[in-house]
Amino acid sequence: MKLLILGGTRFFGRELALRRAAAGDQVTVFSRRCPCEDLPRAIRQIPGDRKSASDMAALSGERWDAVVDNICFSEEDVLLGMETAGLRAGLWIMVSTGDVHLAVKGAKSPFTEDQCARLTELPQDQADPYGFGKLRAEKALLSKFRGEGFPAVIARFPIVIGPRDPKLRAYSYWLRMADGHPVIVPDGGAAYRRYIWSSDAARALETLMLFPEKSVGETFHFGESAPLALSEWLDISAALSGVVVQAADISSEYLSAAGYDLACSPYWTARDYVLGISKAENVLGWRSTPIRQWMEDAMSCYFEDYDGPKPGNYACRAKELELISRWLSEGGRLRPMPLGSLPESGGLLK
């Protein structure tokens, strides 16, 4: 298979490139970050800007069995892609997001693949910018499929966790656990959401490539088999760490009033925010890697191999601890994590 990945140099796109190169495919990655020294020579690298018409035009002269568009963020991006690399593409997979549901009125968790098509789109100035751009891109792609048979597929992912996450979101929690001080858990981490391991995200894209007869013209949600509340995710993390972590279950209202930036708890959500994955399970036979297995792998990568900068939100750690001290002085109580006894506790932070 001749595969083109738009992106593919850092996170799960890179994992897909490595998987397919190992399987014998002719893999090309296109990114502003090319050339990347840590990609094997078997993977062809083309430097270019996804938003540049001239750079994208350089891809139009080749026939691609599949294109995975990992860096598409707007309708304009989709149109440019279809007019260039898409001219002779056998399959076009757009990587999208569950945040498209933040661009329509009345979406309810668990979200199904057809909700956005049935609901009214929010005005752009009222919608989540990222979700709005992705939704417009999806609509343009599926319109081309319906009108001209363009071989489009959409893969929506929830939060992706893995060792090369450029946002370092999971690591920001684990680093707080490791420093020995309490961790703020807004609203006790009660709301549910779904996650996906980066290797599973790569495997999901691979599945869509290998079964075009089931995927063309369709939208699929992927993710961990069971949604988790943030408190549960943190409990599993604490169990794997092998240390007792103190949680400060503070209401989001209190935190906001105190000037706390809720983005410092990047997996917090005010309400359930769960992608339904039954379609992928039933149509594609999707099954995720067991969560304890991949979380242990991810934590090991960060604490044993990662030597990069700390997450940006860790800069506010001192202010967090001051806030926790004030909350405790007002009657707040810390909660130990993990709750109860979780089996197979690890020792990653001991």
Q: The CATH number of the domain where 122 resides is what?
A: 3.40.50.720
- 139 and 170 belong to one structural domain: no
Measured distance CA(87)–CA(71) in Å, rounded:
18
Tokens at 326, concatenated: 């004030």
- 37 and 181 belong to one structural domain: no
pLDDT at 343: 46
DSSP state of 122: P
Measured distance CA(152)–CA(111) in Å, rounded:
21
Q: How do the residues of the chain divide into helix, strand and coil, expressed in percent and rounded to 5? A: 45, 20, 40
Domain total in the chain: 2
Residue range(s) defining the domain that contains residue 302: 163-194+228-272+290-342
Measured distance CA(166)–CA(266) in Å, rounded:
13
* 151 part of a folded domain: yes
* 6 part of a folded domain: yes
- 124 and 257 belong to one structural domain: no
Tens digits of residue pLDDT in 159-197: 999 988 999 999 999 999 999 999 999 999 999 999 999
- 170 and 89 belong to one structural domain: no
- The whole-model pTM stands at 0.94
pLDDT at residue 339 greater than cutoff 70: no
At 275, is the secondary structure helix, strand, or coil? Answer: strand
- 242 and 314 belong to one structural domain: yes
pLDDT at residue 338 greater than cutoff 90: no
Counting residues of the chain whose pLDDT is more than 70, the rounded percentage is: 97
3 touches 68 (CB < 8 A): yes
Number of H helices, E strands in the chain: 13, 14
* 135 part of a folded domain: yes
- 188 and 148 belong to one structural domain: no
pLDDT band at 242 (very low <50, low <70, confident <90, very high): confident
225 touches 288 (CB < 8 A): yes
* 171 part of a folded domain: yes
Tokens at 301, concatenated: 């990568």
Question: Which of 166, 326, 206 minimizes the C-alpha distance to 260?
Answer: 326
Q: Which of 129, 157, 185 is the last residue of a domain?
A: 157
Q: Which of 112, 131, 157 is the last residue of a domain?
A: 157
- 98 and 172 belong to one structural domain: no
- 261 and 113 belong to one structural domain: no
* 310 part of a folded domain: yes
Element (H, E) at 152: strand 152-157
DSSP state of 104: B
Tens digits of residue pLDDT in 51-77: 999 999 999 999 999 999 999 999 999
pLDDT band at 346 (very low <50, low <70, confident <90, very high): low
Measured distance CA(113)–CA(122) in Å, rounded:
18
